[in-house]
Structure 1
């Protein structure tokens, strides 16, 4: 492939620079407008040889060329990542080095001393850490943005690997109102009476037409495979001691109470949130927005309706149409400052004005509940595995295409550190 004018100019400038330094570091490969030098190669080779020695292995034939090709591939990935705005900050590199040092029971300063004592430049170690992090983020970016896993593949994978094997067992009591005139209305009435104080046991004795009514409607311990699907679905989000909504089946209307359960269940706390946003980007605008929100908060505390004020004043047009409601919010869905506020906020209390990148807000937490996400967790794990498998295959092909479209020229053969 022909070298572009820009690449040629960059290369000439680079060669001139190296000449001025009396060939202190030889260029081995030109990679687009960048180069791989002998010192970089030596650093990587020492690392590889140390790893082989630790594993009790001898260097394979052609190791120098294999390593150089790997370095070219890595450099192209870093260049492409930079082109797409994927970066790793100095603070993130430092944090990674601190974790690495801790694994070696050392500090970063001690690690630096060890590397320097071995004759290796610590700066190259830092850059190798950065490059590894950039490439890792680049592969994640590729998996997220370019790899699609169809639902049927996820479901097949879950079934084939028995990931959906639910070991949960439930002890439940039930009320059954058989089909008949006004059965649906009666079932809703019973559920309302339970909400207003009627004990479940008394409701069973008074209304249930099931054969187990005289035993309090208790049907004992059952696995998910022993229960109707409609029962299992309803119980997923019911906590021990709570009562389900009315369930309609072919033989009537059911109301369940979860007495106890066994098995794993992954749950999160969701919060029902409303907010009023006043968009602001300058310091003066934020100060004015905060003053306005203080006024609105006082009006709400004096008895005005939060939702009515949200419809009038909030700059979040989507939630404003719903009285400021964001619905049930899960952890991680909102920016940190917003999430931290509603998680700590007592129910029914209006927050002080808070600042996010979107502007200034006041918010209110209306309710909280536990949400069973076991099924979503299983599905998420399956999708992640499949996405990674598919990404690995497609990513390698994409890297080959990246190499074919790049300007790569092997200028010199590296001096080998491998003893013959």
Structure 2
């Protein structure tokens, strides 16, 4: 999920143009506070940068921007929530090391069909520095890890839940492209607040079904959801990934339809079905292979490991048993007892560098020594087969959908609790500047 999200984000971010502000004015802007968040602040300069990015993002998605005052509110709310979450990440010890950040930068560059020098040049042309981009990316990854950590503590999926889920969801083979609009409810909301939120949601639905209103624009203007400034775009989702009250309604909707107002603990929701499609069967090419692993350490260098494996490979080619050599020499003790056998390997189950070498081999061939993050290997491919793993895939997907369903609700509730427990003082209007 992470890089799919970042791919959309970088496209919008690269549209941002640096605002032309005189140096003396810029220095003055840095001292202006637009929000106090616990012991931290949001500066006007940060707000202006985020506002520019939001306008570019909406334009890139061809979504009409909300009225200026509502756009400013959405952007400031997003910055406040970002501050609260980063503070929570700091308290929880969530960190992003430089190696992870380097890999993420390379991945985003590849997603934009650029090498690192070209990516750096593209950022500079758009008024961004690599250091500034890395810091934005670090924040994105930090929040992803924080959410995962918080949800791991709140969500548990049992085998019995998966069984029940698979028996109940007849629509599991259908995927929906959705937009979402949320009118949030505060915790322990009064009957008056609940009715007011319901009336607002019903009013928005009347605007949508009247034929003139655009869902993406209304979401960007009025939604309290995390995807508001993306026009409420949720991408492709299966019914099982959504709260049960929502999942049961999707089968009746056609592309272009808007759901009734739906109530969950986090508030009142509207969904629009942009498109729907049948999920394909999951057929993969599996490889039966075996390997010998030599790990490096203070005593065994890379050169030593490579030399040993080259000698072992030559012995196999000369007629000795691969299995016996694996039992005697491999540092992968689990496979060594099986003569180095890895069984039938499904794509994605091995380290990427191992899988790349293995996939290039013809049945019967033995690789040259190569390195993965686990050490140095030689691998031999026995055979390949096409395997229909649809049922296994569906069960794995069911577990993911159940988790996604729970996360959708739990994350909204967790963020709401984080916000309600914080001290936040909005001061944007006092600045008299946009």
Q: How well do the aligned residues superpose, as a CA RMSD in angstroms?
A: 4.4
Cα distance in 2 for partners of 1:163, 1:402 equals 35
CA gap 1:131/1:294 in 2 versus in 1, 3 angstroms: closer
TM-score after normalising by structure 1:
0.56
Cα deviation code 1:43-69 (max 9, x no counterpart): 3345557859953743567x7666534
Cα distance in 2 for partners of 1:294, 1:42 equals 59
Cα deviation code 1:85-133 (max 9, x no counterpart): 247736745865896899xxxx9978876x76xxx99997886566456
Structure 2: runs of 5 or more not aligned: 1-26, 175-278
Secondary structure at 2:378 match in 1:
strand
Q: How far has the Cα of 1:331 moved from its partner?
A: 0.9
Structure 1 position 75 matched with structure 2 position 90: no
Cα distance in 2 for partners of 1:45, 1:130 equals 20
8 Å CA contact 1:335, 1:356 repeated in 2: yes
Structure 1 position 335 matched with structure 2 position 351: yes
CA gap 1:160/1:54 in 2 versus in 1, 3 angstroms: same
Structure 1 position 89 matched with structure 2 position 104: no
Cα distance in 1 for partners of 2:292, 2:421 equals 51
8 Å CA contact 2:368, 2:378 repeated in 1: yes
Cα distance in 2 for partners of 1:149, 1:270 equals 28
Aligned residue among 372, 375, 388 for 1:359: 375
Q: How far has the Cα of 1:372 moved from its partner?
A: 0.9
- Report the equivalent of 2:407: 391
Cα distance in 2 for partners of 1:137, 1:301 equals 47
CA gap 1:31/1:124 in 2 versus in 1, 3 angstroms: farther
Structure 1 position 58 matched with structure 2 position 47: no
- Report the equivalent of 1:39: 45
Number of equivalences:
294
Cα distance in 2 for partners of 1:331, 1:95 equals 20
8 Å CA contact 2:293, 2:375 repeated in 1: yes
TM-score after normalising by structure 2:
0.54
Secondary structure at 2:377 match in 1:
strand
In our comparison, the structure showing a higher alpha carbon Rg is 1
8 Å CA contact 1:101, 1:108 repeated in 2: no
CA gap 1:91/1:355 in 2 versus in 1, 3 angstroms: closer
- Report the equivalent of 1:25: 31
